[in-house]
């Protein structure tokens, strides 16, 4: 299932991702999609985890169907968001990884790095992320192993089971 075109998308960024966040959110607004902008709204230095947690919580509590996080590299945002059970935040750098994170991983938050991705690639990645469906099947079985308390991994002569 794709993310419905009338579903709200939550945005969050630190000072290093403010410009890209604002531009991407504006593109969605122009297309008529509801946007929940959780900040930041200024160029003053802020702590990225605050915004990653806010977007993750908005997705988890249903205020948004998906989220977009932007910081300088996207790394800190993705690490922070993925601390929440039920969040699958993917840091992407191109359209292919944006498509695959939805098809194979059912990612519900997209992370981008303003300092490492160009505007056109970021826009296309967001568009593909929001319009790509999760394939299910063998991927659903794998996803079911993410949000469990403990995973037993056996490392034997045949490899990891």
Chain centroid to Cα 19, Å, comes to 17
Give alpha helix (H) positions in 31-135.
48-60, 75-81, 95-103, 119-131
- Is residue 104 part of the annotated active site? The answer reads yes
For the chain, what is the largest distance between any 2 Cα atoms, rounded to a whole number of angstroms? 56
Do 78 and 17 contact (CB within 8 A), yes or no? Answer: no
The CA-atom distances, in angstroms, between 143 and each of 41, 106, 123 are 34, 8, 27
Q: Which among 15, 53, 93, 104 is annotated as catalytic?
A: 104
Q: Name the residue among 13, 9, 116, 131 with its Cα closest to residue 64.
A: 9
Q: Which among 71, 84, 89, 101 is annotated as catalytic?
A: 71
- Is residue 101 part of the annotated active site? The answer reads no
Residues with catalytic function: 71, 104
């Amino acid at each position: 299932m794709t993310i419905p075109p009338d579903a709200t998308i939550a945005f969050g960024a630190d000072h290093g991702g403010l410009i890209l966040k604002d531009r991407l959110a504006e593109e969605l607004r122009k297309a008529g999609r509801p946007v929940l902008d959780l900040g930041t709204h200024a160029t003053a230095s802020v702590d990225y985890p605050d915004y990653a947690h806010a977007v993750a919580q908005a997705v988890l509590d249903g205020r948004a169907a998906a989220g977009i996080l932007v910081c300088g590299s996207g790394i800190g945002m993705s690490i922070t968001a993925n601390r929440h059970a039920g969040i699958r935040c993917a840091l992407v750098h191109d359209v292919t990884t944006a498509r695959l994170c939805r098809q194979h991983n059912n990612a519900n938050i997209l992370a981008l790095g303003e300092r490492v991705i160009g505007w056109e690639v970021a826009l296309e990645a967001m568009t593909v992320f929001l319009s790509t469906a999760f394939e299910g099947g063998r991927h659903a079985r794998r996803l079911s192993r993410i949000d469990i308390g403990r995973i037993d991994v056996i490392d034997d002569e045949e490899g990891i089971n």
